[in-house]
Every structure is written in C-alpha cells, then in structure tokens.
Chain A
Amino acid sequence: MDSKFSGKTVPLQPINSDVIKVPREVIAMMQTICTMLKDLGLEDTEPDNAIPVQVKGEDFAKVLEYCKHYIENPPASTDEKKKLEPSDWDKKFCDDMSQQTLFSVILAANFLDVKPLLDCTCLHIALKLKSMTPEEIRKEYNITKEFTPEEEEKARKEFEEMILQTTSKQGTA
C-alpha cells in the first residue's frame, strides 16, 4: 500500500470512458480540476456524481499514469536549469506514445493544467527536433509547406557561415 496516497478519491468521467476514481493527490496536480472543485465547494467532500471532463479516455489515462508516477517519484530538484535532462522513465513514457497520442496528451495536459507533464512532453519534442535534419523533421511531422528554391537558398546562405563554423568545430561529425 503506497503511503503517498491517502485513499480519498474523486470520480471523474472523461469522454468515451467509464468513471474513474482519481486519487485526491492526483487531482492536486490538475489545476483545472482543483479550481473546479473549489468553485463547487467540493474540496473536502466527495461529489455524489462523476464530474465530466472534456478529455478523451485514452489521453486521460496517460495523464493519470504520469501523475501517479510523479507523486510516487517526485523529482530531486525543481531547478529550472536541470530540466534539459529528462529521467529515463519520462523518456520511455514519451517514446512509447505515437506522435498523434503525444500531441493529444500535450493538449490534455494543457487543458487539465498539469505543468510538469506539459514541460516533460514539450521537452521531449525539443530534444527530438534537436537531433533531426530539416528533411527528417518535415517527414516526421508531415510539414508540407516549404520555401521556394530561391527562398531556401537565401535562408541557407544567411546562416552559411555559422553552419560552416559548426561543422568545422565538430571535426569528423
């Protein structure tokens, strides 16, 4: 029995899903729901009926999974600078999702206002983008609008020196 969870829950009903009894500790991470409960005067009492939540069932499940893990394994420090190193669990959590699901989860995290999850998923995307060439990025994210050949040449020339300097610094890369 995990001591981080008191056992108190609140019933929520995402779209196309059964009612889920969400632990109070997880609710505390979802600012939107917190505010909603506060406005309804339900901070301490359990509501009689499930509260509908405008998030799809499968996305909500992912948010729930993240929050539970976060509560059981709080990060060592909340230092802003450290955020560029995701934990192994965070990395696997994001990698295991398809592109489509990842973006849905980002939108769900934004709607429910779960900042750690939003940071984690956006960081995942940033790290991914860092490691790809422009052509790979276009393919991965289905980006179709490109420059005209002249514009592409102009944009490339604009930064030509810096690219040269980078590659020369990296040597064999």
Chain B
Amino acid sequence: RFLERMSKRPHEREDVSAEKKRKMESAANPYGVKPIGNKYLGGNDDCRESSLGLLSLMRDEWLLEAVFEDLSAEEIIVLSSVSKYLYIFAQNDLLWKELFLCEYGCDFDFKTSWKETYIRKKTGRTEAPPSAGIRATGIYSDILYNSYYCSTIDPSRWAKIDNVQRRSNLSVEEFIEQYESKGIPVVIEDVVQKWPAFQKWTDEYLKEKYGHIKFKTDKQIDVALSNYIQYSNLVVEERPIYLFDNEFGERAPEMLDEYFVPPYFKQDFFEMLDDRPSFRWILVGPPRAGATFHKDPNWTSAWNGLIRGHKKWIMWPPDVPPLGVIPSADELEVTVPATMVQWFNDFYKKKHPVQAPIEFVQKPGDLVFIPSGWWHSVINLDHTVALTQNYVSLANLKKVHRFLKTKKDLSLSVRFTEALRQNKPELLAQLLEETNDLEGGWENLVDDEDGDDDWCLGL
C-alpha cells in the first residue's frame, strides 16, 4: 500500500495537504521529468530504451554535452521531433542560451526564456512562439531534472538565519575600534539611505539615464543596461549572467555623483597608486546570481551597499575555509562548486566542524563591512542593484604589505612600497622595522592562536 501511495503523483495522493500539493506542483518539472530514484517507486513506465533506442546506451550527460551542444538550432529542432526523450533534451534552456550568445552576442531583448529569446530574434516574431506543451511520463533523468530544479529553486529557503551585528549611529572611531581593527563583520543600517542613488535608482531611472551604456558582465560580453535590467527581472536560471563592472566610473561618470564612500572607509592607501588594482564595482543581477566563496584580492577590506533587492550572505573567518571549498596553498585559487545553488544544496545543512558562519540577509539600505581575508559568498534572493569598493586602511595595511611580497608578480609590491615611501615614510619605516623583527615566514603571521599579535599599528 505504501508503494501504491508513493507511485501516485503528489496531487493525486490523499495524505498530502493541499498547501503542500500546490508547492510541489509548482516545483514539478513542466515536461514531466523526474529524478532517477523515482523510477523505483512507480510502475514500469521507464521509456528511456524505447525513446532513445540504441542511443540509450549513452549517458544523459554525453547526449547533452557531446551531441546536443554541437548542434545548430535547426538540427536541435529536427532531433526534438524524433522522440519524447529527445524533445525534452531539446527544451534545455542552456542550449538555447549558448546558441543565442554565439550567434547574437550581447544584443538580447530577453523574453521569458533563452529559447523564446532566440526564436523571436531569429524569426522576428513579435509574440511568444507557440508551445507544444508536451508532457511525458516515464522520463527519469537526474541530469534533466536537476537542471530544471536548480534553475527554479527559491534561494530564500536558505535565508532564515540572521546572526550578524547590526548598527546605526556608529561613529568612525567606534567602527574602527569595535569592528575594523578586530576583523569583525558588521551591517551598518543608516548610511546607504543617504546616497542619492538610494532614492533615484529605480529600474525606470537607470534605463532612462544609463540604459544605452554598455556594462561588463562575468561572461566577457558587454550588455546595454536597459537590456540587462529587462533580463534581470525576467530570467529564471541557476547561473545567470551577472553585471559586474569595475569600469562603471569611467563608462558612466555621473553615477559617481550619486553615491559617496561612507565616512568609515575614507582612508584608502591604494589611492596613492597611479594605477591601482580594480577597486569599485557596480553589481546588478537576478535571483541566484552572486559570487561563490572567495577572499577579496590582495587582502583588502571591502564594503557593499545595497540599493535595491535582497542578498543572502554567508561568511567565515580567514583561517576557517567553508565546507566544500578547497583553497590552493597560497589561497590564490579556490576549488568550489560551480554555483551558489549547488553549494547551498550540497553543503549548507552540514555542520561545520570548526565553527558556524556569520550569515544574514542584506536588505535595501544595508551596508556590509567585509574584513580583510574573510571567506564570503553571496546569492541574490531577487533582482538587486549594489555598489561595492575595496580598500586598504591602517587596520589591514600590514597584512596587505606583507601579502604583496609573497606574490609571484612583485610589481604591485614594489609600486606600493614606493608610494608609501613618498607619501607616508613614517608608516613604511614602521612596517619595515616590524618585517625585520619577524622570524619565520608567512605561516607565523596567520597563525595567531593566542590572539596576542597586534595587527593594528596603533598610530
């Protein structure tokens, strides 16, 4: 009787509540695909062999990667009319994303899916193309199911915990003393509201004023802001294209007048450099976009001000790598799951053996302080617009200066030391004095178990 019950689809079962049925229906794959495990719960309706014939000897991932990914749009269509299994493969939106980007690049007038976007561009249709609405039974595939599941999953399910410190009316001295010098993250709740951008930067305003300007994305293509905002509000995928531009100050200089660097972060020694590393970004993105676990470059500290939307943050201290994250010896490279969705699916529920993370939801108006060296990862819960900058202040100057010396390319180290010599000779003198005093190597610097190393120069 158990098997009989389990073999029914959720909306047919008596023991499942109406609310749950509604939720499960919306999560169910629209083509009727189920995970492989379900094959063993139901009747013998697995149609893979008949629907693929000899091709069933190939694994789903081979069919997808080695066969479908090499086909043109017309060839995919031909293949999709062979059988139901092949039809469902052909609906995989990532195939159409690649086709679009290869053929048309950044020129996307995004409609509800990449497939629709491609077909409308290709044929010049002004309305949505008809959908065959084919549902299948007997299609059991982890690859096909997970692809849909991960691209539609609601990340707010992972956003229930909020354990970060939140402050308002914080003076600069208090900030330095209580958070920056101690390397403790904090969310400051009353600064971003004072930016002109906070009131002004609605989607309509951004499209009107900056819409024609092309911004950088993480896909090495530049997209006009109007097109991108439309995309960001519509797209449903696991790994969206993310607008992430370190040149926005040069591409849209007027944006620089619409926000200011909060008073806590006015000191920034990298400003002394003529040609400083990338230090400021505009971030715009849809749900599920974000950044996988990383440390910010060169041991800089950072702040992130959210103008609209909501972001889930999760952070660990510098000496505690998150589960599922494997840094190289010099921490310049990190092996992580490909997307935040995958990390959250595979690792979030597991208890970290060393300590629990700091995690929270950043809402509009929240300013996050990320102390230097902290592991952090961010996932968008909805369409977001944010500004972020990295900097070097007294609190992390020593660490940055030392870290630069360990890099393979020493040119930045040389330039920074020279800039310090010219602008802050007394600071440099102190740094060098402390370097000479130090025995042992970098390991000694980061291994501060007793907590008695004073990282602040205390000038």
Give the interface of A toward B (CB within 8 A).
84, 99-100, 103, 106-107, 110, 118-119, 122-123, 125-126, 129-130, 133-134, 137-138, 140-147, 151-152, 154-159, 161-163, 165-166
Closest chain A residue to B125 by CB distance?
A161
Q: Does B55 contact A (CB under 8 A)?
A: yes
9 intermolecular pairs with C-beta atoms under 8 Å apart:
A103-B54, A106-B58, A122-B66, A130-B75, A143-B53, A145-B51, A145-B83, A147-B87, A165-B123
B128-171 vs A, CB cutoff 8 Å, 1 = contact: the mask equals 01111110000000000000000000000000000000000000
A106-B58, A163-B77 given; A126·B67 CB < 8 A: yes
Also in contact, A162 and B84, with CB within 8 A (given A99-B54, A103-B58, A126-B66): no
Task: Report how far A146 CA is from B83 CA in the complex, Å.
Answer: 5
Q: Would B84 and A147 count as touching, CB distance under 8 A? A: yes
- Chain B's closest residue to A159 (CB) is B77
Residue of A nearest to B134 (CB): A151
Residue of A nearest to B67 (CB): A126
Task: Please report whether the interface of chain A is mostly helix, strand, loop or mixed according to DSSP.
Answer: helix
Is B78 in the interface zone, CB < 8 Å from A? yes
Q: Does B173 contact A (CB under 8 A)?
A: no
- Nearest residue in A to B135 (C-beta to C-beta)? A151
Contact of B130 among A99, A134, A138, A157 (CB under 8 A): A157
Chain A CB within 8 A of B178 CB: no
Indicate if the CB atoms of B74 and A144 lie closer than 8 Å.
no
Chain B residues with CB below 8 A from A125, complex form: 55, 58, 66-67
Q: Is the CB of A162 within 8 A of B57?
A: no
Across the interface, which residues of B come within 8 angstroms of A122, CB to CB? 58, 62, 66-67
Scan residues 23-57 of chain B and give those whose CB is less than 8 A from a CB of chain A: 47, 50-55, 57
Among B71, B79, B85, max chain A CB count under 10 A is at: B79
Whether A103 touches B57, Cβ cut-off 8 Å, given contacts A134-B78, A155-B134, is yes
Q: Are B80 and A155 in contact (CB under 8 A)?
A: yes
* Contact indicator A155/B81 (Cβ below 8 Å): yes
Let me know if B268 is at the binding interface, CB within 8 A.
no
A142:B132 contact, CB within 8 angstroms: no
- Supposing A103-B58, A106-B58, A145-B47 touch, asked if A138 and B80 sit within 8 A by C-beta, the answer is no
